[in-house]
Chains A and B, each alone.
Chain A
C-alpha cells in the first residue's frame, strides 16, 4: 500500500470527474425535472402520472412481468444448474459455454428471432395449423406472453450461472446426508439446497428482476406500441408526446424500483445468513 494521497487523487480524479460530469449531473438534472414545476417544488407530476389508468396498467405490468420472469427463471435455473453441476468437468465446461453464448449475441438479434417463431406465419402458428389445432393464426406476438418469453430467454443465462456457482459451493455431503436421514426430494430442496444456495439465488434474482424492469428492446420489439412496459412508455412520452416531465417521472420510478430491489434482496440474503450463522453457533 502506498500512502501518497496527492498521487492517489491524481490517479482517481479523472475517472470520478468524468462520470460526475457526463453522467451524474445530467441524470440528477433530469430526475429533478419531475419535482420542479412552474418554479416550485411539488410532487404533482407523480400524482398526475399515477392518476392515468394507462400509466397504472404499464406500471403494474412491468412489476408483474419482472416478478414472473424472476420466479420462472429461478425454477428452470435450479433444474438446469443441477443438471449441469452433475456433468463431467469437460462436459460441464462446454455446456456452461453454450449457456453463456447468448449473452454475447446482440439482444436485438435474440429478440428478433422470436418474431420468426411467434409471428402470424411463424413456426408456432404454422405448426398449430398443420396439426389442425387452430383455424386462424393465434395472436402471440405483441402480447405480454411474447414479452415474457423474450425476457425469460434474455435473462435465464444469468440465473443459471449464478445458481451453478452457488450449487458448486455447497458442501458435497449435505444432500446425501439429508437423504440418509430420511428426507424426500422435496424436503431436501426446501430445507437443505435452498438455504445453502440462497445467496446465488438472490444474486441471480436481482440481475433478472432489475434487468426485466428496465428492459427496452424486448417490449419494443415483442410488445409493439400497445403492450407497453415502463421503458417503452418513457420512449413514447418523449418521441410521440414530447412530455419530458412524464419521462422524468418514469425515470425516477425505474431508478427507485431498481435500487429498492437491490437493497431488499441484499437484506433477504444477509438476514438468512445471520440466522444460519447463529444456528451454527448454537
Chain B
C-alpha cells in the first residue's frame, strides 16, 4: 500500500523534472552575470537578455522566421480551407489520393525536402531564397491546416448550410455566412499550430539559407557553435515564453486542444 501511494508522486516528480528541468536551467542560465554558459549562474544580471536584441543576425533571422511563420501559415490556410471543405462536404472522386498528397509533407523528413528544393528549384531557376523558404513552409504547414480544419468541419452539421441554400442563400454566401463563422475556432487553432510548427522548424530550412536569409533556429544553431555565452540561453527562454504564452492564451480562449 505504501509502495502504491508513493508511486504516483515519485513517478510524476521524476518525469516532470526530466521534461521541464532542463528548460528551467536554461531560464536560470540566461540571468547569469558570467561570460560563459554555466549552471548555477554566476551572479544575476539582465545583460544577456538585452544582448539578444542587439545581435544583428538574430534580429534579421527573427524577422525572417516571423514572416515565414505568419505568411506560410496564412497561405497554407488559403489552400487548406477549400481543400478541407471539398474533402468533407463533396463526394470527390479520388478523395483518398488528394488526402494523401496533401498530407505527404508531414511524412517526409524536412531535411530531404529542403535539399530537394535547393537542387531542383533554387539552383536551376535562380529563385529567391526567401520565396522558396516561404513555399517550403507553406507546404510544411498545409497538412496541419487540412487536418485541424477538416476536424472542425466534421464537427459542424452539414445540414445547416444545406438549409441556408434552401432558404435562398448562394453556395458561396452560405459558406461565408454560415460555415466560416462556425469553424473560426478551428481556423485560429490551425493558425497557432502552424505558426509554432513553422517557427520551430530546423531541418527544412537548413539547406535553404543565403547570405542574410536564414531562419532564427538555424541561426541559433550556427551561433552556438561559435560562441558559448548565455545569449542563446536568453533567446531560447524568450522564445519559449512567447510560444507558451500564445498556446496558453489559445487554450484559454479557444479550447485549442479540442482541435489538435
Contacts and interface: CB of A to CB of B under 8 A. Distances in A.
Interface of A: 1-5, 7-9, 11-12, 14-16, 18-20, 22-27, 29-30, 33, 76, 79-80, 82-84, 86-87, 95, 97-99, 101-102, 104-110, 112-117, 121-123, 152-153, 156-157, 160, 214, 216-217, 220-221, 231, 234-235, 238, 244, 247, 251, 254-255, 258-259, 262
Cβ-closest 4 pairs across A and B: A109-B236, A113-B22, A8-B90, A26-B116
Contact of B105 (A19, A30, A87, A123): A19
Given A15-B80, A255-B108, A8 B86 contact: yes
25 contacts: A5-B93, A7-B90, A12-B87, A14-B82, A15-B98, A16-B101, A19-B101, A76-B15, A79-B15, A95-B16, A98-B19, A105-B23, A105-B244, A106-B236, A109-B237, A109-B240, A112-B233, A115-B37, A116-B38, A122-B39, A123-B39, A214-B109, A217-B221, A244-B119, A259-B107
Interface of B: 7-8, 11-12, 15-16, 18-20, 22-23, 25-26, 29, 37-39, 79-80, 82-83, 85-87, 89-93, 98, 101-102, 104-105, 107-113, 115-117, 119-121, 135-136, 138-139, 142, 146, 158, 171, 196, 199-200, 202-203, 206-207, 217, 220-221, 224, 232-233, 236-237, 239-240, 243-244, 247, 251
A116 B91 contact: no
B240 A106 contact: yes
Nearest to B143: A19
Contacts of A22: 117, 121, 135-136, 138-139
A15 B82 contact: yes
Would you call the interface of chain A mostly helix, strand, loop, or mixed?
Answer: helix
Given A117-B39, A152-B18, 6 more contacts: A1-B91, A26-B116, A84-B12, A123-B39, A153-B19, A258-B107
Contacts of A76: 15
A99 B85 contact: no
A262 B100 CA distance: 14
B131 to A, nearest CB: 11
A156 B19 contact: yes
A114 B51 CA distance: 22
A107 B218 CA distance: 11
A15 B221 contact: no
Nearest to A211: B109
B141 to A, nearest CB: 11
A157 B243 CA distance: 17
B114 to A, nearest CB: 10
Contact of B115 (A14, A15, A157, A238): A238
B236 A216 contact: no
Nearest to A118: B22
A238 B112 CA distance: 11
B200 A99 contact: no
A85 to B, nearest CB: 10
Contacts of A121: 38
Contact of B85 (A11, A25, A30, A112): A11
Given A86-B8, A117-B22, A231-B109, A107 B200 contact: yes
B190 to A, nearest CB: 13
Contacts of A11: 82-83, 85-86, 90
Given A14-B82, A109-B236, A123-B39, A216 B111 contact: yes
B89 A95 contact: no
The residue among A113, A234, A259 with the most chain B CB atoms within 10 A of its own CB is A113
A143 to B, nearest CB: 17
B113 A27 contact: yes
Contacts of B38: 116, 121
Nearest to A115: B37
Contacts of B93: 5
A204 B195 CA distance: 24
A234 B87 contact: no
B211 to A, nearest CB: 16
B201 to A, nearest CB: 9
